[in-house]
Structure 1
Amino acid sequence: MLNGYLYTGPLPLGSVVAHNCGAAGLFSDKVNPEVLLEAIEVDGLYRLTVTIGETVKTFDGDISSMGRRQIGQALLRYLREYQGLPADAPWGTMVGVRPTKLLHKYIDTYGSVHAATRHIRDEFSVSMEKLATLGAIGEYQRPFLADTDDKKVSLYCGIPFCDTRCVYCSFPYGLYQDYTDKSQFLVALGRDMDDMKAIAQSYGLTVDTLYMGGGTPTVLGDEDFHQVLKQLSILVPEGHEFTVEAGRPDSVNPRKIRSMLDFGVNRISINPQTMQDDILRRIGRGHSVQDIDELLQYVKVNTPFAVNMDFIAGLPHQTMQNMVENMDYVCQNLPENVTIHTLALKR
C-alpha cells in the first residue's frame, strides 16, 4: 500500500489533491513520498501529473471549482484502483467533512431533496444507503436554514490563550501564564466589544447567537472572565443562544459558572475529546476523565445550560473500542449536542 505523497503546484488545486489523497489512504510526506503530484496551469487548464515509481498518469481540468473537483475525482479513482481498494466506496468520490453543505446547495439549485440527492448520486457515485442518510439529515436541517433575515447575525468572541498545548492544535494561540500583556489584551477586547455594539445598532442588526471560544476562554482569571461576560451579555438579546466554551474542566470553577448564570449564558461546550486518561495525557490535555465527568454532573445539577460535548476521532493510539466507550458515555449522560471531529493535522 502507498502511504506518502508530495504535491507541488497551484494552491487551489492543492487543497483538492490533499482531500482526495487522504480519501485514498495517503498522507503528506516531504521526505520519502511514494507518490509525486506536480500541477501546472496551461492554456486555461490545470494539468496534474502523478508519478508512482515508473508509472506516470496525467489529469486535466478547467481552471474552475468544477475543474478542480473533476481532477480530484479522477485522482481518487486512480489511486483507489492502484491501491487495490474497492471502487464502490460508500461515499463514492465525495470527500470532505460537510456533505450536507453540498446537498443544500443542490436543493437550492434543483428545488427538492430528491433531485439534489439524484444529482449527487450521478456526480459522485454515492451509495443508495448514504444518499438516504444524507437526504434524511438534509430534510431535518431545512427548517433551520429557512430563515434568511439578513439582519440576524452570529458573533464569535475568541480568547486566543490556553495553559497547555494539545499536540494536534493548529490554532494561533499563546500560553496565558507566559503572556505579559494581559491587561492590554483585555482593554483591546473591550474596545472590540464596544465597536461591535455600535455596529449592530448602526445597521439594525440582531445578534441571534454568540459563541465565546478560544483557545480556552475559561483560562481568564475569575474577575476578568466575569467582566468579559458582562460586556458580551449586552450584545445578546434575552433568550437568544449564548454559548461559552468550557472545554477544559481544569480551568472551570463554581465562580465562573456563577458568572455565566449571572449574564445569560444558556449553553456550555464541555470538550473532553476522548474519555481515556492515557490518550488525554498523550495529546497534552491538562485534565482527567474524572474532571470531565465532575464538571458535567455539576452543570447538570446546578444550571439550566444546554450542553455540547466535543470528541475527536483518530487521536494517537485511539482504537474503535475507545470511540465506542466515548459514545457509551454520551448515551448514558445525554448532552443536548455532540460534535465529533475527525483529526486533521494542519500547519
Structure 2
Amino acid sequence: MVNGYLYTGPLPLGSVVAHNCGAAGLFSDKVHPEVILEAHEVEGLYTLTVTIGDSVQIFEGPVSSMGRRQIGQALLRYLREYQGLPAEAPWGTMVGVRPTKLLHKYIDTYGSVHAATRHIRDEFSVSMEKLATLGAIGEYQRPFLSDTDDKKVSLYCGIPFCDTRCVYCSFPYGLYQDYVGKSQFLRALNRDIEDMKSIVDSYGLTVDTLYMGGGTPTVLEDEDFHQVLKQLSLLVSEGHEFTVEAGRPDSVNPIKLRSMLELGVNRISINPQTMQDD
C-alpha cells in the first residue's frame, strides 16, 4: 500500500488529482511522498505522469472540465489497482463532497431522477445501493430547489486557515499560527464583506442563507472572530439561516459560542473527525 503523494502542475488539474488520490486512500505528503504526480499543459492537452517506485504511468486528456474528470477517473482506477483494492468501489469513480450537486445537474439535463441516476451509473460505475441513496436524497431536495426567485442569494465566507492538517483533507489550507499577514487578511475580508453588503443593497437582494466555512473559521482569535461575525450579521435578515462551521472542537470555546448566539448565528455545522466512537 502507498500513503503519501506529491503533485506539481496546473492548479485546476491538481484539485481533481487531490480528490481522486484521497478517494484511493492517499494524503498529501511534501516530505516523503511515495507517489509522484507531475502534470503539464501544452497546446490544449494535459499530460499527467504518475511515478511509484520503478512504475511509471502516463495519462492524457483535453484541457477542459471533462478532460480533467477523465484523467481523475483513470488515475483513481490505476491507484486502486496498484494497491490491490477492489476494482469496483461503492461510489465507483465519483469523488468529491457534493454528489447531489451533479445529480441535480443531470436531472435538469435528462428530466428525471431515474434518467439522471442511470447516467451516473454509466459514467461513474456507482453501485446500485449508493444510486438508490443518491436518488432518494435528490427527490427530497428538489422542492427546495424549485424556487427561482433571482433576488434570493446564498453567500459563503471562507476562512482558509487551520491550526493543524486533518489527514483526510484534500482542500487548500494554511496554518494560521504560521501566517504573518493575519491583520492584512482580516482587513481585506472586512472590505469584501462591506462590498457584498453594498451589492446586496444596490440590487435589492435577500440573503437566504449565509455559511461561514473554511478551513477552520473558529481558528480566528476570539475578538477577531467576533468582529467578523458582527460584519457578516449585517448581511442576514432575521429568520434566515446563518451557519458557522464548527467542526474542529479544539478551536471552539464558550467565548466564541456566546459571540455566535449574540450575533444571530442560528446553526452550526459539526463534522465528525472520526467514525470510531472511542
What TM-score comes out, normalization by structure 2 length?
Answer: 0.76
Amino acid in structure 1 at the alignment position of 2:276: M
1:32/1:128 CA distance change after superposition, 3 Å: same
Q: Which region of structure 1 is more displaced relative to structure 2, 66-75 or 233-242?
A: 233-242
Whether the 8 Å contact between 1:59 and 1:74 is mirrored in structure 2 is: yes
- What is the aligned counterpart of 2:223 among 215, 220, 224? 220
1:227/1:61 CA distance change after superposition, 3 Å: closer
* 1:251 alignment counterpart: 255
* 2:277 alignment counterpart: 321
Q: How many residues align?
A: 262
| 1:234-313 pair list within 5 angstroms | 235-243=235-243, 248-252=252-256, 259-260=262-263, 265=264, 267-269=266-268, 309-313=269-273
Secondary structure of the corresponding residue to residue 7 of structure 2: strand
Compute the RMSD of aligned alpha carbons: 3.8
1:14 corresponds to 2:7: no
Q: Which has the larger radius of gyration?
A: 1
1:47/1:166 CA distance change after superposition, 3 Å: closer
| 1:1-347 pair list within 5 angstroms | 1-155=1-155, 166-168=163-165, 170=173, 189=190, 196-211=196-211, 214-215=217-218, 219-220=222-223, 229=230, 235-243=235-243, 248-252=252-256, 259-260=262-263, 265=264, 267-269=266-268, 309-314=269-274, 320-322=276-278
Whether the 8 Å contact between 2:164 and 2:175 is mirrored in structure 1 is: no
- Structure 2: how far apart are the matches of 1:180 and 1:62? 39
- Structure 1: how far apart are the matches of 2:160 and 2:53? 45
- Structure 2: how far apart are the matches of 1:58 and 1:103? 30
Secondary structure of the corresponding residue to residue 120 of structure 1: helix
By how many angstroms is 1:206 displaced? Answer: 1.9
- Structure 1: how far apart are the matches of 2:267 and 2:145? 23
By how many angstroms is 1:313 displaced? Answer: 2.8
Whether the 8 Å contact between 1:49 and 1:58 is mirrored in structure 2 is: yes
Superimposed CA distance per residue, residues 153-182 of structure 1 (whole angstroms, 9 cap, x where no aligned partner) = 234567899xxx74238367579xxx998x
Superimposed CA distance per residue, residues 60-82 of structure 1 (whole angstroms, 9 cap, x where no aligned partner) = 21111111111111111111111
Whether the 8 Å contact between 1:35 and 1:51 is mirrored in structure 2 is: yes
Superimposed CA distance per residue, residues 134-160 of structure 1 (whole angstroms, 9 cap, x where no aligned partner) = 111111111111112221123456789
Secondary structure of the corresponding residue to residue 48 of structure 2: strand
1:268/1:18 CA distance change after superposition, 3 Å: closer
Amino acid in structure 2 at the alignment position of 1:320: Q
By how many angstroms is 1:225 displaced? Answer: 5.1
Superimposed CA distance per residue, residues 225-266 of structure 1 (whole angstroms, 9 cap, x where no aligned partner) = 59975x766644443334466772331576x57744xxxx36
Amino acid in structure 1 at the alignment position of 2:151: K
Amino acid in structure 2 at the alignment position of 1:321: D
- Structure 1: how far apart are the matches of 2:221 and 2:46? 47
Whether the 8 Å contact between 1:158 and 1:215 is mirrored in structure 2 is: no
